[in-house]
Amino acid sequence: MARSPTAAPTSSLPAYIEPCLPRQVAKAPSGPRWVHEIKHDGYRLAVRIDAGEVRLVTRRGLDWTKRFPLVVNAAGELDVRSAYLDGEVVIEGDDGIADWVALHACASAGRCPGAILWAFDLLFLNGKDLRSLPLIERKARLFVLLGDQSHVGIRYVEHIEGEGQVIFEHASGLGIEGIVSKLADSPYRSGRSDAWQKTKSWQRDRFVVAGYIPNTGDPRLVGALVLGQWKSGELVPAGKVGTGWSVKLAGELAAALDTIRQPDPPFATRIAHNTHKGAKWVRPIVTVEVDHRGWTGDGLLRHPSFRGVAGTT
């Protein structure tokens, strides 16, 4: 008879563990082995606790402890000698849904006092390596560890059993980014894994900024970005995006784009005179990330939302 996996013998707590990453799929899996979690729209973050010292570690191993004081305080109050938690740090809006724009802004500034962690896995606990245990057992231990602490700076991510696609469609209808489906009996494995699969409500792609339309209430702010996409070496229109930034960022974007202004649209083909009325055109050197829900019949973005500046060429 096969023996059930057990936690590894006492071992030292690693400074960093490469996280398990889900594969993106078009349709959520279903079946008795799968459980499903809400995908929170934030930054992947590990909480490392060792003899009272708390460190917050990013997906790539950077120390972001000073950025999220509420998470640090909550971790410091846990009744534990050592632990390594995996989760997603977010800032929640008034509707309870993660506000990625607010998180990105405060994280870039170096401190997010209102950010919390949604914890979904427990890799080490009091000197024991739990990674070989089934996911469902690791989550059970995480639930016990957090207790009523989960309502403060660290919250436990519940899982749901059932038809994955039905759960995904319900989450999508609520405006949630998507779900992550996981094999309940799977061990924790660093790197990309088929045992974790994410289904997203939106696509995320990169586009070139062709220009901007000033805000009608304050022309010093960006009201919308006019977007393009390179195809066969030519820039073609992709529509525009008018949501997803703060007032501060709208001003910063306008100021930066004003330094690369040019008189005419940078598109390969001429656009109608009344298209993007009032637009200020720029050299096509700034790339941005945009979430969207696909394309219209005439090749423009559906329901786009700005995510951030990806770079400049």
Does residue 59 belong to any structural domain of this protein? yes
The answer to whether 301 and 239 have CB atoms below 8 angstroms apart is yes
Which residue has tokens 């083909």?
269
pTM score: 0.75
Q: Are residues 84 and 185 in the same domain?
A: yes
Nearest 5°: phi and psi at 104? -60, -40
Q: Are residues 102 and 196 in the same domain?
A: yes
Contacts of 165 (CB under 8 A, 6+ apart): 27, 28, 30, 199
From the list 205, 199, 204, 203, the residue with the least C-alpha distance to 169 is 199
Burial class (CB in 10 A: 0-12, 13-18, 19+), 312: exposed
Per-position b or e across 134-165, b if 16+ CB within 10 A of its CB: bbebbbebbeebbeebbeebbbbbebbeeebb
Does residue 7 belong to any structural domain of this protein? no
Q: What is the pLDDT of residue 173?
A: 84
Q: Are residues 229 and 151 in the same domain?
A: no
Q: Active site includes 231?
A: no
Burial class (CB in 10 A: 0-12, 13-18, 19+), 172: middle
Burial class (CB in 10 A: 0-12, 13-18, 19+), 65: middle
pLDDT per residue as tens digits for the range 184-226: 999 999 999 999 999 988 888 999 999 999 999 999 999 999 9
Does residue 139 belong to any structural domain of this protein? yes
Q: Are residues 193 and 272 in the same domain?
A: no
Does residue 11 belong to any structural domain of this protein? no
> In whole angstroms, what is the distance from residue 291 CA to residue 73 CA?
33
Does residue 260 belong to any structural domain of this protein? yes
Instruction: Mark which of 169, 200, 231 sits at the end of a domain.
Output: 200
Instruction: Mark which of 171, 200, 229 sits at the end of a domain.
Output: 200
Q: Are residues 25 and 133 in the same domain?
A: yes
Q: Are residues 239 and 109 in the same domain?
A: no
Q: Are residues 263 and 304 in the same domain?
A: yes
Does residue 2 belong to any structural domain of this protein? no
Q: Are residues 251 and 123 in the same domain?
A: no
From the list 210, 108, 105, 119, the residue with the least C-alpha distance to 157 is 119
Q: Are residues 148 and 220 in the same domain?
A: no
Q: What is the pLDDT of residue 150?
A: 67
Q: What is the pLDDT of residue 148?
A: 73
From the list 78, 299, 75, 90, the residue with the least C-alpha distance to 176 is 90
* Per-residue tens of pLDDT for the chain, all 313 residues: 445 566 666 679 999 999 999 999 989 999 999 999 999 989 999 999 999 999 999 999 999 999 999 999 999 999 999 999 999 999 998 888 888 878 888 888 899 999 999 999 999 999 999 999 999 999 999 999 998 766 689 999 999 998 999 999 999 888 788 999 999 999 999 999 999 999 988 888 999 999 999 999 999 999 999 999 999 999 999 999 999 898 999 999 999 999 999 999 999 888 765 678 899 999 999 999 998 878 888 888 988 999 899 888 7
If one counts the domains in the chain, the total is: 2
CATH code for the domain of 104: 3.30.470.30
Instruction: Mark which of 146, 180, 200 sits at the end of a domain.
Output: 200
Q: Are residues 89 and 194 in the same domain?
A: yes
Does residue 15 belong to any structural domain of this protein? no
> In whole angstroms, what is the distance from residue 11 CA to residue 76 CA?
21
In this structure, what token pair is assigned to residue 289?
Answer: 């990330």
CATH code for the domain of 219: 2.40.50.140
Residue 70's region, left for phi above 0, alpha for psi from -120 to 50, else beta, is alpha
Domain range enclosing 289: 203-312
Q: What count of other Cβ atoms lies within 10 Å of the Cβ of residue 18?
A: 13
Q: What is the pLDDT of residue 1?
A: 45
Q: Are residues 70 and 110 in the same domain?
A: yes
Q: Are residues 52 and 166 in the same domain?
A: yes
> In whole angstroms, what is the distance from residue 295 CA to residue 285 CA?
23
CA distances from 30 to 23, 137, 163, 202 (A): 15, 20, 5, 20
Q: What is the pLDDT of residue 296?
A: 84
pLDDT per residue as tens digits for the range 231-249: 999 999 999 999 989 899 9
Nearest 5°: phi and psi at 4? -70, 145
The answer to whether 168 and 39 have CB atoms below 8 angstroms apart is no
Does residue 10 belong to any structural domain of this protein? no
Q: What is the pLDDT of residue 98?
A: 86
Check 27, 39, 139, 200 and give the catalytic one.
39
